[in-house]
Structure formats: C-alpha cells, structure tokens
Amino acid sequence: MNKTRKEIPVNTLERMVKYRRILDNYAADGKTIIYSHEMAKLAGNTPSQMRRDLMSCGCAGSTRAGYNVQEMQTNIKSVLGYSETKQTILVGVGNLGKAILSYFSFRVPRVQVVAAFDVMPHRIDRVISGTRCHDIKEMETIIKEQSVTLGIITVPREEAQALADRLVAAGIVGILNFAPVTLDLPDHVYVENMDITMKIEKIAFYSGEK
Amino acid sequence: MNKTRKEIPVNTLERMVKYRRILDNYAADGKTIIYSHEMAKLAGNTPSQMRRDLMSCGCAGSTRAGYNVQEMQTNIKSVLGYSETKQTILVGVGNLGKAILSYFSFRVPRVQVVAAFDVMPHRIDRVISGTRCHDIKEMETIIKEQSVTLGIITVPREEAQALADRLVAAGIVGILNFAPVTLDLPDHVYVENMDITMKIEKIAFYSGEK
DNA sequence: CGTGTTCTGTGAAAAGTTTCACAAAATGGC
DNA sequence: GCCATTTTGTGAAACTTTTCACAGAACACG
C-alpha cells in the first residue's frame, strides 16, 4: 500500500503502539525532548533497540539533545496510519466482550467500534460503554451499511469458526480472535489471535527460572 | 531448571500450547495418528515448521505412518511441565477479570487460580466461576499461605504498577499483565503483557494489504 | 576556542527463526 | 519381493531481529 510501511519490521511495529502510548503520557507532563535511554527504560527495552525502531519510523534525533517528542508522535502516528479510521464490530457481549468494549471506547484512536452483536435477547439493544448491542441477525446489514472492515470475536470456541466465516462473507478483512481455536480463513483476511491460555502457560514455564 | 527446556525456542514453546489443544480435540475423535501436514493445517502453519517443533519436544514420528497422537501429547505435556501445578491469583474482578476466571476454570491444566481479589465491597466474598473473591487486604496472607507464585493483573492502568510491586514483595515470580503499562520490576520476575490495543492496531495496519 | 562528555546513527556481527530440499524409511499394490 | 508413493528428519540456506561497538555531532564548561 504505502512504501514506507512495508519496510517496517513486524516486531518494531508492535512496539510502535507502545511507544505512542508512552509518548502521550510523557508529553502530558510537559516534556518536549527524550533520550533513547529514557524511552528504553519506559518501554522496557534497550536504548539501541529504541534507536533502531525510531529510525524505522523516520524519527531523527539530534546528537546530545535526544529526540523531539512532538515530532516522534507525529511520525509514529503517520506510520501507524492514524489518518484513516477503521470501522469495527465486536461479536459476543459476554464479560470479555464488555471488557473490551470499555477498553476501546476511549483508548484506541484509529479504530472505531460502531456496533456489537449477540444472540442472547437480554443483551440486545443495551448500550455498553457507548456501543449498542444488536441482534446478530442484523450483522450483515450493518457491516455493509457502515463499511465495517474489522471484527473482534469474543464468542465461545465452538461458535468462532462459523462466525468468522460469516464475517468474511460480509466483507470483513481483519479479525481479532479471542476464541482458543485456529481459524481457517482465506488468505486475504488478516487474523490475530489473543491466546490468554498460551500466555499464562508461558509464564508458568519461564517464571522462577531466572 | 531442566536441560531439555532451555533448548526449546521461544516461538516453538508458544506454539506448543496450541498443539496440546489441537491434539486434545483430535484424540477426542478417537484418532491415534496424525501427519505433520494435517497438524499444520489445524495449527495454521507449515508441515516443515510442525516437524521442527515436534523435534524440539522430542516427538519422533515414523516415516509414512506419521506421529502417534498419544505419545505427542505425553511429550508436549512433559515439556510444558504439566507435572507440577502452579498456584495463581487474579487481582481486579471487573468484566475482564470475570471473563478470565471463567476461562481458566476449565481450560488451563497446570495453572490453578486459588483466589481473586478486589477493592470493591460488592465484589468481595462472591464466587466467580468457582473462584472466591477476597478483600485485597488479605492478599499477602493468602499468597503466603497457599504458596502462590503467579499473578494476573486486571486492574485499571493507574493501579497496575503499585499492585505489581505488592505482588512481587509478597513472593510472586510471574505476572500476566492486562493493564496497558510497562511494569518496572526486578529481573527475577517474569512478565507477559496482554496488549489488546496493540493487537487491534496491528490488524488495522495489516488488514486489507494482502 | 578547545577539550571532555554525552548523545545519535549505523555498519557489521550475532542470535534467533523459518523455509527449502532431499535422503532415507516405511507402506501398499502388484 | 520390487517398485511407486508418501512421509519423516535434518543439514543448510534464507530471512528476520537484536545487539555490539564506535565514528561523528553537539553541547558545556572553562
């Protein structure tokens, strides 16, 4: 799509989101410059990795004077594509779904959750953290009407694949999947899995070994 | 700790958890052997990566006859350390905390959530998915009494660092952090962050580009 | 205006991970 | 029992990511 984008290493991109957050807080304190070692401390990595990452997004610091916070913010936001907003829906308004709705309502700039869906009658037509929950029957209609491109799946495992198929058929091209299954979808759909189980097992594995 | 463990690449380890899940389902269908390409299909990766990963955990297949499912299950469980159970607590019983409690109550074999904690009086002494929520004042006591080593943080961002410090002071050595901050903790503590924001921004970035 | 110090930017090495490609083994059909 | 086929196991190549190490720029201070 954009030349610059393609060149950014995946891992760097993941960290970039974190950097944006750090810089927002840092700037809120009225600070205007920051050194790579300060940022590394805040981000939990090394100064030299910070500098590489900043290079990737076209941030130039100046020797001895560090990096200009505002310029970095602008660059990072431009790299992450903050100029365009992506319409998003969430399906499955259980505890997890609700938690995520409250998360997104005020924290993710470029992603707008336009609607939520569920099958349970008692959830339908309620508004959670500013997002209305609709009957899942209306899903395809709303996706089309509002040009929704991203979907968040927070339904039980058994229902995830069928739901994902429906989302893709309706035109969704990016999915955040919280169900513990591997979704089998066409190549043009970008899927990320949030595997809570995996993370906790990883901690169980590595903790107490250092 | 264990010689075999150290040699397993991090990424392979992450996938191992997924493999366990896949094999559990696969075995439940009464199947006893599986080929690397079948498993790759189920796991969403390539046959050759599968074979490498299986090598790392000491699984040997036999030419033309594939891998023995039960043997793989045993090996993976032994690599992941399923013989010992780790005591875990969760702090912050909001929507996210509740969602995670229901997740863990029946899905993660080696990790046992022994207690939850919150500050809100209306949450205290309630039982969520089999786990009792206690007053956070009792936290240190329960950690010590029950030899808890892992902690899951699902409190608001502002409270996360102070909470993490308390957990570490009480003896916790592994933390799963859902708050969108970088925790600053001693080296001996293993921390994993679940950064929901990051994942959705990543999807927004990559989707629609393939 | 010169010297010492503290930064950045970056080539190059190192470390980590995935993919390729093919030999060797096992199976089934004939 | 032999040939064609399928599948594993694995060296080696390719690729990705991190770390090292240091030249050069900028500033502070005398």
Of B182, B203, B205, the CB nearest to A176: B203
Q: Does domain B86-198 have CATH number 3.30.830.10?
A: no
Closest Cα partner for B181 from B190, B172, B191?
B191
Structure-block tokens of residue A85: 């907003």
Residue A175 CA to residue A189 CA, distance in Å, equals 7
Which residue type, as a one-letter code, is found at position A122? H
pLDDT tier for residue B105 given thresholds of 50, 70 and 90: confident
Start-end of H helices in chain A: 3-7, 10-28, 36-43, 47-56, 69-79, 95-107, 139-145, 157-170, 196-206
CB pairs under 8 A between A and B: 180
Beta bridge partners of A150: A88, A174
The answer to whether the CB atoms of B13 and A107 lie below 8 A apart is no
Does B76 reach chain A within 8 Å, measured CB to CB? no
Does B171 reach chain A within 8 Å, measured CB to CB? no
In Å, what is the separation between the CA of B186 and the C1' of C7? Answer: 27
Residue A202 CA to residue B10 CA, distance in Å, equals 9
Closest Cα partner for B126 from B97, B166, B160, B103?
B97
DSSP type of residue B60? -
Question: Which ranges in chain A are annotated with CATH 1.10.10.10?
Answer: 3-78
Q: What is the pLDDT of residues B33-63, one digit of tens each?
A: 999 999 999 999 999 999 999 999 999 989 9
What pLDDT shows up at residue B110?
A: 86
Pick out the nucleotide with least CA–C1' distance to B67. Answer: D8
Please check the confidence at residue A102 and state whether its pLDDT lies above 70. Answer: yes
What CATH number has the domain spanning B3-79?
1.10.10.10
Residue B185 CA to residue B47 CA, distance in Å, equals 39
Average the pLDDT over each of A99-108, A173-182, B56-65 and give the range with the smallest value: A99-108
Which residue type, as a one-letter code, is found at position A189? V
User: What kind of architecture, by CATH, is found in domain A3-78?
Assistant: Orthogonal Bundle (1.10)
Question: Which ranges in chain A are annotated with CATH 3.40.50.720?
Answer: 86-198
The answer to whether the CB atoms of A99 and B102 lie below 8 A apart is no
Question: Which ranges in chain B are annotated with CATH 1.10.10.10?
Answer: 3-79
The answer to whether the CB atoms of A195 and B99 lie below 8 A apart is no
Please check the confidence at residue A127 and state whether its pLDDT lies above 60. Answer: yes
